[in-house]
Structure 1
């Protein structure tokens, strides 16, 4: 282990920018630590001087806790739609709470550790009772809505054990609802653009893909339940229905089973609230972009035992590409029913439709030598009658049973249907390097079914209390694609620089293509957090997976397919966390993930799955009672058993091609991140990532030591911040973002130098009901390619400068 860490450390030193970035973020962390040491309110009786302006209750409580130097536990269910007059002057903690919470129907309960828990007020003065507010536990304490913060207090993305980011021994980022609103995030692509360590690539205008640590993210989760990420059919404009997005970088086998060692995204749904809530927003921007959104929530019976929420959004806009439009709509509904004080049933569904007239199949071509044509950013090389339309329908059922011994049993199931209708055009080159127009028309139908059941709770062992999760899951993905096929006699020679999208008429099609497939995975897993000492925690996990895949494709007179299975594939997890004090922790973790492959060995048997092993060490910190999180990590990721082709003469009779599992890729890097409130009213997130992937063994010996995944930048720096102005200007909020990345290139000779982008934001709140916001993206109108590929493929421009105005109405009901 020492030898590995030494090698890892040496490799990190090769990144010249890493030292500067580490010093920058460390300096901020030291400053925050010093500021924390100046907090003067240490007891409930001490008088503290407060200067907190009026505003939403969640934000006022957050500032109160930080100025008083006390942790305050709240959730969006209780604070949604409530405001507070703020607090000015000297008060004790109890006096301050009384003034801030006056007339809200809420109170606080002081805990043994000195923290305060926000509760609904008792019906009489004799006792406090939780009543319907106990539903906060069913969101696993991970809701960020209403917090006004860029920092999350809890996550379960790594192991299903709910813990703070500081107690999670892997690199984790949480994109809170406040960040989504401030940066006007509406699509999954926006998460990738603004999250440290993630990069966005596209193989077409409506086919975004996310990458981390040298590999594509091929699984995402919704409320902890994995689904396959399919960029062809899965709609990506559904962020309106989510409270937050948790991002894990590195191997995620304990959560998703089979997949790439890149990481995963956990999308946390918005949940019903007891208090009535209404939010209506509208926005307008460049390219005739118009969007409206409705979010309404509240109790559906007198006692709050039945609660519901509905979110709807509609968007209609052109894009910067000629004759390319987006028409998108989302309808999401969820109901929670308390069947008993200890049993809750949740039912929900959503419909998402994305019609994209004019969407391209791939993107713009480059010249054969890899250099770029002198295209304008509005150029297209596909006919203007193309389209790429998606429709997603999903339903889910959850049941949670709580027991007197603090154990909980949870069942989570979902059904997701993704449909695609596309008519596309793209270019390709022949042996003479002439460009031809390729046209195709296809339909896809992908149906995913997932179920997960687990029990979690405390266990007593050797005089200490530990936590345990035991569960089982089942996933199935059915593919029924087609009919589809190419156009008849459509491959005419064209000049990409003089292409007229109106000059090509719709041809006839030969519907000679179809595809059928099924992917199944069943799993057993267990994870435990063992408190070896008050300051030392060991996390151990194990998972067994049974995986099977089969697919048959028909194309004209040809039929071909793949099928393979894996039995009892074992995935381990180990993490150790040492709390240095109340602020800092150091950690080390090791885990794996597997990905089955269809390649055959010389005897005709399937090769062993590709494995991805993640080693990580780091330090994490919490400042101001968790309002500000910081982390620094060193990691090494090894992908092993990659197929290496063998000469045909070594293959057994009847085996057309064969391979051996000997290819390896190693990724080494560093990640630094800071997120949360640096000072009252100042929210920020800053992250730097260096991830260098190279071949250690390859099918081509000349590749050994060469860069792997070269179209992903090795260096990424992302900053986002907002600041609410003080004093008489407190109704104004200003902010912005900055992103910069190093150069990239592809094996086809296409290259792009590093580039930087700047975004700006300003907001104005008239009162607790009305607020307005303006977001200026790519403020300096940088011309760059979001994705690069090859001479016939997905070279796709990033968006030019654009301005979006938004208005939000949220009355106090």
Structure 2
């Protein structure tokens, strides 16, 4: 069983009960920041909805001839709606969670205009998806830090909402990535996941907009975050240097945490499934004082999981706590923390193929490791945000996120000597401490008679890594026969834990600015720029220590959005990003950073007042200045390799996605991506024109959907998901591994017993498809999970 610490249930319970303090909560609508100019009333209501999260249902002809009043500032939604309607002969009243538009002086809860009802139902502000039941959201800010709708953002954007997470049973970020349009996962062993988009590795992840690097070693430390704390995940594909600073031109994955509620809320969940997998969740929130100016929330999760393999299992504990305090009417302070501990009886490497890459015919439950293997990680986060609204509608945000990560692992891996398979072993300990800090000012300004938006800010992020470990020169399992292996036969070896050491620290500082210019009623231009200073230092004292700097790297962002009509917009954008590299040139200096550029054009549509979003995009990306090996005769020391920044990879393709409400009671998300990434210039000339990474799929289709039955069957819902990809391969000099194209289907059936109790059944890999989920090498492939079942029940106050 797992060896290290875990969160005890008693501790989880005590945290849960603490969130229920202040039972006399006063439910009230939270103020939202609005900027709606004078315009036709139908257009104003659409803009009001996009900015506030309020849903407004109305027929366009019923509002013909009416013009709105301007609304600007931070207001409660009902107050803002009344101001918007001033002078139109209409007014609005609040009834519970809905606002009703009616003629001034009219009585009753609704007014019928031309046979149609106009009702505004409050959805969580700021793009929050919890409680909406939606598969899309109204506001995203993961591309420029300016709040814009998906239609207003000139890049490909996907949002995995809280409802999708629940319907599909997506318990962690790995599950979410596998179900997100355009994203894929490659594994190096069962516990080392790498995320990919548009042909490149995603090497940054964001928490509430604050980036954290997924470097070569930190990805081993940072296990997939638990989804119980997430309201949604926003993904912007392409180069995202304006938001993140340095990195690959792949994607920004932004994890948006849940916020406290001002009314009593308790949710208790339990799940049980195949291979003795069990999970419990507790989510509790409330106001912590009578006025509701202090609010808290605690979320916990615990898992005890078996495995489909012959040997193995895991224990997972998670706690998330957050508090919001309204210091004044205009100032809010947020403080939160999370802790995640994963103890896994899991080996270092995956399964082998034959030496030539052909399949050995091993069953999916095969385990060729040792019973003493483990992979134990824990991460701690402490975060805070201060937000202040000024009288001129500008807003100040100061945010910080601190992470402490640890890994202790002991395991084995395979190696071939000719056709002979051997097993080797190693033991390692890493610590990875990370800090990310950001401050910015944002708000509206007027220029040439029009109102625009801008944001200016500065950020810093730091990483300190310290790793050490050891390995055995002799094989742990020499001449291993995969068909006859006893995982308990080899005694646990001892290691010199300081045979290998690596210590380094990085610091990246940046200043940035962006603006959204409303050039004309249908034309919007988004411009942005960022300057970065990057500093890397090896600190372990080895002979080959490397230190390097990047000074004043300029990142650029430009986008144009043209509204064709009330439904469709065309856009074009240019974005870029840089990535430092530590290879030396012929003069002994560090070569210049790689640069990634993204050119994209597309068409976006917004239907049902933003409850359904659709997009199609064509993109071309270049990663230039990749390290290219020089002939040794050009190097000052022939025993030390030198490089030039001349390599280049091109990625081009198409993104299509539709997400949201298809019909009453029917939500869906469907996306197709085609990506072809090839070498244009490379050290190995023979690579030029070939696929950059053929392990990654070029064609991907992903679908998830849920339909709530009507009439006497309205307590039932049915849904599921589908994912499909083309064939892939890994080819080296001595072997080739092929994975044929495959499609996976999952099914979901839900039944709501009453207003408090809901049940759900998820059947995954319905047709029990056998496939490689990863083809890293001929000594490390991984099988996907066989058909499995999970039953869940949830009680909500």
Q: Shorter chain as normaliser: what TM range?
A: 0.7 to 0.9
What's 1:804 paired with? 790
What is the alpha-carbon distance in structure 1 between the residues aligned to residue 771 and residue 441 of structure 2? Answer: 49
Map 1:110-189 to 2 at 5 A.
141-189=126-174
What's 1:770 paired with? 757
What is the alpha-carbon distance in structure 2 between the residues aligned to residue 301 and residue 501 of structure 1? Answer: 57
Instruction: For residue 561 of structure 1, report the CA deviation from its aligned partner.
Output: 2.9
SS at match of 1:182: helix
CA contact (8 A) 1:381 1:427 kept: no
CA contact (8 A) 2:57 2:120 kept: no
Alpha-carbon displacement from aligned partner over 1:515-536 (angstroms, at most 9, x marks no partner): 1110110000000000000110
Are 2:640 and 1:656 aligned?
yes
CA contact (8 A) 1:144 1:243 kept: yes
Map 1:461-500 to 2 at 5 A.
461-486=447-472, 490=476, 492-500=478-486
Alpha-carbon displacement from aligned partner over 1:162-192 (angstroms, at most 9, x marks no partner): 1000000000100000000000100111111
What is the alpha-carbon distance in structure 1 between the residues aligned to residue 713 and residue 262 of structure 2? Answer: 33
SS at match of 2:650: strand
Instruction: For residue 109 of structure 1, report the CA deviation from its aligned partner.
Output: 7.1
CA contact (8 A) 2:722 2:745 kept: yes
Map 1:473-622 to 2 at 5 A.
473-486=459-472, 490=476, 492-511=478-497, 512-552=499-539, 559-622=543-606
> Could you tell me which of 37, 43, 65 is aligned with 2:57?
65
Instruction: For residue 562 of structure 1, report the CA deviation from its aligned partner.
Output: 2.8
What is the alpha-carbon distance in structure 1 between the residues aligned to residue 347 and residue 422 of structure 2? Answer: 15
What is the alpha-carbon distance in structure 1 between the residues aligned to residue 500 and residue 515 of structure 2? Answer: 49
What's 2:407 paired with? 420
In 2 relative to 1, CA 510–337 (structure 1 residues): closer, same or farther, beyond 3 Å?
same
What's 2:434 paired with? 448
Are 2:709 and 1:722 aligned?
no
Instruction: For residue 404 of structure 1, report the CA deviation from its aligned partner.
Output: 0.7
> Could you tell me which of 334, 344, 351 is aligned with 2:322?
334
> Could you tell me which of 256, 261, 266 is aligned with 1:268?
256
CA contact (8 A) 1:395 1:415 kept: yes
What's 1:285 paired with? 273
CA contact (8 A) 2:569 2:604 kept: yes
Instruction: For residue 560 of structure 1, report the CA deviation from its aligned partner.
Output: 3.3
CA contact (8 A) 1:144 1:177 kept: yes
Q: Which moved more, 1:748-757 or 1:490-499?
A: 490-499
CA contact (8 A) 2:238 2:249 kept: yes
Instruction: For residue 231 of structure 1, report the CA deviation from its aligned partner.
Output: 2.2
What's 1:126 paired with? none
What is the alpha-carbon distance in structure 2 between the residues aligned to residue 374 and residue 553 of structure 1? Answer: 44
Are 2:353 and 1:366 aligned?
yes
Instruction: For residue 496 of structure 1, report the CA deviation from its aligned partner.
Output: 2.5
Instruction: For residue 68 of structure 1, report the CA deviation from its aligned partner.
Output: 10
Map 1:236-247 to 2 at 5 A.
236-247=224-235
SS at match of 2:327: strand
In 2 relative to 1, CA 67–392 (structure 1 residues): closer, same or farther, beyond 3 Å?
farther
> Could you tell me which of 624, 629, 633 is aligned with 2:613?
629
Q: TM (normalized to structure 1)?
A: 0.83
What's 1:693 paired with? 677
Once superposed, what is the RMSD of the aligned Cα atoms? 2.7
Are 2:316 and 1:316 aligned?
no
SS at match of 1:179: helix
CA contact (8 A) 2:90 2:101 kept: no
Alpha-carbon displacement from aligned partner over 1:638-679 (angstroms, at most 9, x marks no partner): 011111111111112487111111111111100100000100
What is the alpha-carbon distance in structure 1 between the residues aligned to residue 268 and residue 90 of structure 2? Answer: 35
CA contact (8 A) 1:69 1:624 kept: no
What is the alpha-carbon distance in structure 2 between the residues aligned to residue 450 and residue 630 of structure 1? Answer: 33
In 2 relative to 1, CA 110–676 (structure 1 residues): closer, same or farther, beyond 3 Å?
farther
> Could you tell me which of 167, 192, 195 is aligned with 1:207?
192
In 2 relative to 1, CA 453–237 (structure 1 residues): closer, same or farther, beyond 3 Å?
closer
Instruction: For residue 105 of structure 1, report the CA deviation from its aligned partner.
Output: 6.6
In 2 relative to 1, CA 238–753 (structure 1 residues): closer, same or farther, beyond 3 Å?
same
SS at match of 1:181: helix
Instruction: For residue 724 of structure 1, report the CA deviation from its aligned partner.
Output: 0.5
Alpha-carbon displacement from aligned partner over 1:328-380 (angstroms, at most 9, x marks no partner): 011110000111111111110011001112x1212011111111111110112
What is the alpha-carbon distance in structure 1 between the residues aligned to residue 55 and residue 393 of structure 2? Answer: 32
> Could you tell me which of 735, 744, 749 is aligned with 1:757?
744
> Could you tell me which of 151, 156, 178 is aligned with 1:193?
178
> Could you tell me which of 235, 245, 253 is aligned with 2:241?
253
Alpha-carbon displacement from aligned partner over 1:474-498 (angstroms, at most 9, x marks no partner): 0000001125444776362312232
Q: Which moved more, 1:484-493 or 1:176-185?
A: 484-493
SS at match of 2:323: strand
Instruction: For residue 152 of structure 1, report the CA deviation from its aligned partner.
Output: 1.1
What is the alpha-carbon distance in structure 1 between the residues aligned to residue 558 and residue 646 of structure 2? Answer: 26
In 2 relative to 1, CA 150–66 (structure 1 residues): closer, same or farther, beyond 3 Å?
farther
What is the alpha-carbon distance in structure 2 between the residues aligned to residue 62 and residue 403 of structure 1? Answer: 23
CA contact (8 A) 1:488 1:508 kept: no
Instruction: For residue 747 of structure 1, report the CA deviation from its aligned partner.
Output: 2.3
CA contact (8 A) 2:469 2:496 kept: no
What's 1:303 paired with? 291
* Aligned residue-pair number: 708
What is the alpha-carbon distance in structure 2 between the residues aligned to residue 435 and residue 69 of structure 1? Answer: 75
In 2 relative to 1, CA 67–308 (structure 1 residues): closer, same or farther, beyond 3 Å?
farther
What's 2:341 paired with? 353
Are 2:688 and 1:704 aligned?
yes
Are 2:733 and 1:741 aligned?
no
Instruction: For residue 448 of structure 1, report the CA deviation from its aligned partner.
Output: 0.2
SS at match of 2:415: strand
CA contact (8 A) 2:606 2:612 kept: yes
SS at match of 1:569: strand
What is the alpha-carbon distance in structure 2 between the residues aligned to residue 264 and residue 614 of structure 1? Answer: 13
SS at match of 1:495: coil
Are 2:663 and 1:682 aligned?
no
What is the alpha-carbon distance in structure 1 between the residues aligned to residue 351 and residue 58 of structure 2? Answer: 51
SS at match of 1:734: strand
What is the alpha-carbon distance in structure 1 between the residues aligned to residue 100 and residue 779 of structure 2? Answer: 63
What's 2:627 paired with? 643
What is the alpha-carbon distance in structure 2 between the residues aligned to residue 660 and residue 792 of structure 1? Answer: 32
Instruction: For residue 314 of structure 1, report the CA deviation from its aligned partner.
Output: 0.4
What is the alpha-carbon distance in structure 2 between the residues aligned to residue 390 and residue 297 of structure 1? Answer: 28
Instruction: For residue 69 of structure 1, report the CA deviation from its aligned partner.
Output: 10
Alpha-carbon displacement from aligned partner over 1:233-275 (angstroms, at most 9, x marks no partner): 1121411001000011110101111101111200000000111
In 2 relative to 1, CA 360–403 (structure 1 residues): closer, same or farther, beyond 3 Å?
same
Any gaps of 5 or more consecutive residues in structure 1? 1-40, 45-60, 72-77, 80-92, 120-132
Alpha-carbon displacement from aligned partner over 1:536-569 (angstroms, at most 9, x marks no partner): 0000000000001122557xxx753332211111
CA contact (8 A) 2:426 2:472 kept: yes
Instruction: For residue 391 of structure 1, report the CA deviation from its aligned partner.
Output: 0.6
